[in-house]
């Protein structure tokens, strides 16, 4: 009798543990997978501005991603570096993690020369619409329909179910 009770208690504890695990289940998408998906979206061109050579850094403390790269303008022929940060946004309808709340951190022309304020304002108005709402990663439908939210870790997106 005592052994049966112990088994019942252990089984109940296991079931209770599994049910609490399922409530807090998360699945990491490694940074390498995100970077590869992002690279497939580049170079990206709109309004005569070409963005290329993307590099990301995940900032877990503020739940943002930093995206840096190179921009090129056809007329007049200029190029430089850019860095923006953004919050990843979960679009459940499309099953995509999208770029949102973009903020330009750095915008240079040539060898780290700061752009004149008018040029920076013009590029700010053109660069942000190029990236805002862009899909960063498509989550497979089987996973995406159950996804509640996402968190940023230093080396991965954590999909929380």
**Tens digit of pLDDT for each residue in 35-84?**
888 888 888 888 788 989 999 999 999 999 999 999 888 878 888 898 88
- Single pTM value for the model: 0.68
- Whether residue 43 has a cis bond before it, omega within 30° of 0: yes
Specify the CATH superfamily of domain 26-160: Uncharacterised protein PF07273 family, DUF1439 (3.15.10.40)
**pLDDT higher than threshold 70 for residue 127:** no
Mean pLDDT to the nearest integer, 124-146: 76
**pLDDT higher than threshold 50 for residue 138:** yes
Torsion of CA 35, 38, 39, 43, to 10 degrees: -150
Mean pLDDT to the nearest integer, 125-133: 74
Residue 124: per-residue pLDDT? 67
Average pLDDT value over all residues in the chain? 77
Mean pLDDT to the nearest integer, 155-159: 86
Confidence band of 24 (pLDDT split at 50, 70, 90) = low
Of 39-48, 114-123, 139-148, where does the model show the most confidence? 39-48
């Amino acid at each position: 009798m005592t052994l049966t009770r112990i088994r019942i208690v252990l089984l109940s504890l296991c079931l209770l543990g599994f049910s609490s695990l399922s409530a807090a289940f998360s699945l990491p998408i490694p940074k390498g997978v995100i970077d590869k998906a992002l690279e497939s979206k580049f170079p990206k061109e709109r309004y005569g501005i070409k963005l290329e050579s993307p590099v990301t850094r995940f900032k877990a403390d503020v739940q943002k991603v930093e995206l840096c790269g190179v921009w090129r303008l056809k007329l007049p022929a200029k190029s430089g570096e850019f860095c923006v940060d953004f919050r990843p946004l979960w679009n459940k309808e499309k099953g995509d993690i999208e770029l949102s709340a973009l903020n330009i951190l750095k915008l240079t022309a040539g060898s780290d020369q700061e752009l004149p304020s008018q040029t920076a304002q013009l590029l700010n108005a053109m660069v942000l619409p190029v990236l805002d709402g862009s899909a960063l990663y498509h989550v497979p439908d089987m996973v995406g329909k159950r996804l509640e939210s996402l968190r940023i870790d230093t080396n991965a997106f954590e999909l929380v179910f």
